Amino acid sequence: MKLLGLLLLLTSAHSFAAPKAHKQKIRKIEFETKQLEDGVHWMPESITVTQGEVVQFIVKHTIPGKDEHGFFIPELKIKTVVKRGKTEKITKEIPTTLPAGEYKVLCDKHEGTHKPATLVVKEMGAT
């Protein structure tokens, strides 16, 4: 029973240490490279997020061709190199100051040939 008490104490201490994540579930969003006829794409083609939402981008590159790609969303200040076989995880809060609209998920390493995906940002409170 002493052990259980200690565990409960540790668990509550942990939640105090991370007030930002309190009660908010982090949604995992996967992106991966996919070869289509017109070039390499970030897939899925489109992802919708909401202002103020905390998301974790899980980005993978497993296809042949270039050894690495860029995962670049300027408006979210995300710029990461994704090497083949090495998953990158980026946790971000979608700023409430970022206007609702459509933004591009780019590859800054192969602009033009690497087709971007679309990040749709919805207004907070919209359903």
Q: Which stretch binds Cu ion (CB under 5 A): 16-24, 42-50, 81-89, 102-110?
A: 102-110
Min separation Cβ 113 and Cu ion, Å: 7
107 touching Cu ion, by CB under 5 A? yes
For residue 67 the two structure tokens come to 């050894």
Cβ(72)–Cβ(106) under 8 Å?
yes
Min separation Cβ 79 and Cu ion, Å: 13
69 touching Cu ion, by CB under 5 A? yes
61 touching Cu ion, by CB under 5 A? no
- Out of 106, 114, 117, 121, the residue judged to bind Cu ion by CB under 5 A: 114
**Residue-wise burial string across 24-50, b where 16 or more C-beta atoms lie within 10 A, e elsewhere:** eeeeebebbbbeeeeebbbbeeebebb
